[in-house]
Chain A
Amino acid sequence: MRAFLLESLEQLRDHLAAQRPLFTPQFAADSSEPSWLPLSHNTPSVAIEQPLLPAYPAKQFFFPEREILFRFDGTDFKETLPKPAPQILFGVRSCDLCAIAYQDQFFQQDPYYQARRKATLLVGIDCQLPCEGGFCPTVDAGPFVRDGMADLVCHQQGDHWLLITQTSEGEALLEGLDLKAAAEEGITQRRSQEPQVAAQFPSATHIERGIQRINQSQVPAELWQTMGLQCLSCSGCTSLCPTCSCFTSYDRPVDDGFERERCWDSCLYDAFQREASGHNPSAAAGQRVERFWFHKFSDEYIKTFGRYGCTGCGRCEKTCPGVIGVHSVMKRISATP
């Protein structure tokens, strides 16, 4: 791990973009909606000091919404592994980086995921201000980038930036950039600054209490049912949650045979577990809502992944039409006697 001084983020971004396709959160055409988009001449230079929370996390770069697994050409099954060109994701926030680390583990043996993941270098960015609805400090996912979660990390310090290398691949990308090594105190300062940024986040006691109750099975079944009634099975939460990974697969006809496509699924759909016989182990909406939150906050998953399935990004709250995103749910859970 080494640290350098950087004058501006654009300097690094443009240097990297000259080497490989680079994706970074930007405002899509004439709007105030940040999305993951490729950097190009046509992209106006946007202010990147304050990291933008793109609508989607980075998961679709590795686990795309729809992906062909294999083809059947009429005689045999042919695996269709992606052959991705090397790429860079620039400006990934700590919550989303934690989720990538989580999915790296989850998809450890998945060749499709791994092919894309291995072709990608991650440039993280430390958040200096809480974002709307975010609560990363409560689930140990931010605000600063955790060790080992990115290839490069950018950290703003006054009018300049600290650039920290976390992998040799990351460091290799810097070749040709004339950078000054940063003083040791810059790094210590970064470390001591994180609690100050974390302290600016609004209180998240409802999340902490909610986590406790979920793990002690103290949430009344009726509350899950009431909240289940509010779930419109839109799949928004599972689409946007950076750690959600469920998929379904189906055969699509193509010219000379079939291809098997896998596509994002949602455990909130009524028929997610329904079997061919009609039997459905999670027929009640309340069960499915509970399932989602169990999967995000049960200690059971810490055993496997070393962290909760929730990284505190707050996206589910923003997108849930039924008002049962993370804050709404945890507030109600923590308010039960």
Chain B
Amino acid sequence: MDADRDNISRIIHTICPFCGVGCGIGLRVEQEKITGVEPLTSHPVSQGKLCAKGWSTAYAVDPIDRITTPLIKENGSFRPASWDEAYQLITEAFSTAITEQGADAVGVIACARATNEDCYAAQKFARAALGTNNIDHCARICHSPSVAGLRQTLGSGAMTNSIDDIEKADLIVIFGCDPTENHSVLGGRIIRAKMAGARLLVVDPRLTRLARMADLHLQLQLGTNIALINGLLQIIFANGWEAAEFLNERCENEAALRAKVAGYPPKRVTAITGVPEEKLIAAARMYAKADRALLTYGMGITQYTTGTNNVISISNLALVAGQIGREGTGINPLRGQNNVQGACDMGALPNVFPGYQEVAQQTSRDKFADHWQKKLPENKGLTSLGMTKGALSGEVRCMLIMGEDPVVTDPDQHHVQRALEALDLLVVIELVMTETAAMADLILPAAAFSEKAGTFTNCERRVQLIQPAIAAPGEAKPDWQILGELASRLGYHGMDWPNAEAIFNEITALSPLYQGMSYLKLAENYGLQWPCNEQAPNGTPLLHRQQFSRGKGRLIPVSHADPAEMPDEAYPLFFTTTRLHYHYGCGSMTRKSPLLERETPSGVLFINPADAQALAIKPQTKVRISSRRGEVETRAVITDEVPPGTVAMPYHFKEAPSNRLTNTAQDPVTKMPELKACAVRVTNLEEASQ
């Protein structure tokens, strides 16, 4: 009787699966179903708070439309299959492709919402079992420029400070994002800091919520971040507001930067950015003279062809003002998906092993080859966009995609669809039937975050334990286990782990960042922030305190460049993508909540009242948005949140996929697509009938 009673209900403490803030949640389990969530007051990040997504977690894991067996496509529709049959098919197709064309004819796309253990398994599967560096994940469309940019300037691409530092700063600078919408609980910390007296400086083309609360809002033209920052630097140097001592002692290449930014006097910068001179001066003064200024940025910085340079330029600003390396300061990129930090840490990237150890370096290749007992590929791997391009050209023939939905989230949807269709075999590991899964030849059922153990790493580098609350439905199992079994079929036995903890132990053995961690220590501490090792047994809340990871902070001069596509006569409006508070990624999880679904029932186009008037568009008017790549129909929402001349659309909706419009032009360094700016034309579809 007592055993029965225990089944009635329990609360399992774990981590919210939605965004990089990594809030603590308790999953309430009743009769082996997850029926709700409880906030956790003692969790260091969330402190008893959650956002709408976190509160709706029970819907996201609703078993209602889960995939529960392997599915094989036959004559256009799926039939259930055994694991054996599925593995057999995969093994044959992958082996054939590899024999005929070499290991680089196959590739793996890991997932930024999978656990560290899953991501580690994915890259080990690609490198050791398949023999290719064709491994990537969706950071490509969020934050790869952060990694690339900050690694050059500081030596590490992660958030330099901790979420707690928000409330230690006396100035908070927010570049190209609104954390209250996309990282709400962290955004709430900013509101709290503001209420307690901190000042807010917002740099964003949109009039966001935080921009409305800000002490100063620089509403710059889309795609003019570098010009703006160079302008601020010019003002800082011209007035002698730079942190001279800090620059001398801890930075290099100052002269080159000075020379570059001298070319950006306020007048020119105002002309490019549209921000009045006095606001530029006020902002420069505010930032340079603040005691502790914490800077945070989001996709409004990274999703450009100049993404890496944008990040470098942010780094220049923080270094010159000396706003880094102390509590309440720093450069803090806000990551999108819950484990995008972890996916990068795990080396689910074509160029690095776990812990950012370069594939190009013989020493790291030897280290991993030695540990994995396998000769490792030297070839440069392909990014996810590279793999889709390769699929089109026939270079890549088989792909395995883990719980990502590139058909909905990648730029240029048509391109992705055609690419995936061209593959010999597409394998998708998924929870539910997403658009991408529907295109697969074979689907393998994965366990959800609530059904497995593992770790997620949040945006402040905090590695946190997740725990299984219920059993996975049907035959679903954790990704790492699927990959391990597949590896065995392919003849590689280095992935036969008994459990997730064994994988984590392998990670700590190989990655210096995670070296001092263990499941036990994570459980005891509500997670630990990397690097965690002998020098920092309790983790590192603040990076670059004495010196930068690369030694000296490197100042790198960068120049303004227009977005690859500018408005013209045919396509007169700027188009940008946004994210909504209520939704997440491709929406396959959040849209299962009837409440969140109601909040945004169909795709929407945000348009400024002035532009709306010019086109006779009223609230809810049906409109068509066309770009050089495709068109989308939706309804209009009139709002002063977007400036005149710019329209915006969220990218979560399969009904109105904004990525039919966006540009595939890429950042030359990271191949990050320019999702934040392209040119479109808006047509009022109701005008004719008026």
A and B touch in the complex (CB under 8 A): yes
Minimal beta-carbon separation of A52 from chain B (angstroms): 12
Q: A320 and B5: CB pair below 8 A? A: no
* Complex Cα gap A234–B48 (Å): 12
Q: A252 and B64: CB pair below 8 A? A: yes
Q: Answer yes or no: B42 CB below 8 A from chain A CBs.
A: yes
Q: Is the interface of A mostly helix, strand, loop or mixed?
A: loop
Q: Answer yes or no: B98 CB below 8 A from chain A CBs.
A: no
User: CB-CB < 8 A to B601: which residues of A?
Assistant: 271
Q: A263 and B595: CB pair below 8 A? A: yes
Select one of A41, A234, A240 contacting B184, CB under 8 A: A234
Q: A235 and B595: CB pair below 8 A? A: yes
Q: Answer yes or no: A322 CB below 8 A from chain B CBs.
A: yes
Q: A321 and B188: CB pair below 8 A? A: yes
Select one of A21, A234, A270, A319 contacting B5, CB under 8 A: A21
Nearest opposing residue in chain A for B55, CB measure: A235
* Complex Cα gap A274–B604 (Å): 16
Q: B52 and A55: CB pair below 8 A? A: no
Q: A32 and B595: CB pair below 8 A? A: no
Q: Answer yes or no: B594 CB below 8 A from chain A CBs.
A: yes
Minimal beta-carbon separation of A81 from chain B (angstroms): 17
Question: 8 Å CB contacts to B: which residues of A7-57?
Answer: 21, 23, 28-33, 35-42, 55-56
Q: Answer yes or no: B474 CB below 8 A from chain A CBs.
A: no
Minimal beta-carbon separation of A275 from chain B (angstroms): 12
Q: A323 and B620: CB pair below 8 A? A: no
Q: Answer yes or no: A250 CB below 8 A from chain B CBs.
A: yes
Knowing A232-B52, A263-B594, the reply to whether A55 touches B39 (Cβ < 8 A) is yes
* Complex Cα gap A230–B200 (Å): 14
Q: B598 and A322: CB pair below 8 A? A: no
User: CB-CB < 8 A to B594: which residues of A?
Assistant: 248, 250, 261, 263
Question: 8 Å CB contacts to B: which residues of A219-240?
Answer: 229-230, 232-236, 239-240
Minimal beta-carbon separation of A26 from chain B (angstroms): 9
Q: Answer yes or no: A65 CB below 8 A from chain B CBs.
A: yes
Nearest opposing residue in chain B for A238, CB measure: B55
Binds A, one of B9-17, B145-153, B233-241, B437-445: B9-17
* Complex Cα gap A270–B596 (Å): 10
Minimal beta-carbon separation of B517 from chain A (angstroms): 18
Q: Answer yes or no: B505 CB below 8 A from chain A CBs.
A: no
Minimal beta-carbon separation of B39 from chain A (angstroms): 6
Minimal beta-carbon separation of A240 from chain B (angstroms): 8
Q: A65 and B9: CB pair below 8 A? A: no
Q: 1/0 per position for B272-287, CB-CB distance to A under 8 A?
A: 0000000000000000
Q: Answer yes or no: A66 CB below 8 A from chain B CBs.
A: yes
User: CB-CB < 8 A to B195: which residues of A?
Assistant: 323, 328
Q: Answer yes or no: A278 CB below 8 A from chain B CBs.
A: yes
Minimal beta-carbon separation of B81 from chain A (angstroms): 22
Question: What are the 9 tightest A-B residue pairs by CB atom distance, in nearest-first order?
Answer: A321-B188, A28-B11, A321-B49, A250-B594, A65-B36, A278-B620, A55-B38, A35-B11, A232-B184
Contact residues of B with A, CB < 8 Å?
2, 5-6, 8-13, 26, 28, 35-36, 38-42, 48-52, 54-55, 58, 64, 180, 184-185, 187-189, 191-192, 195, 209, 212-213, 523, 581-582, 594-595, 598-599, 601, 619-620
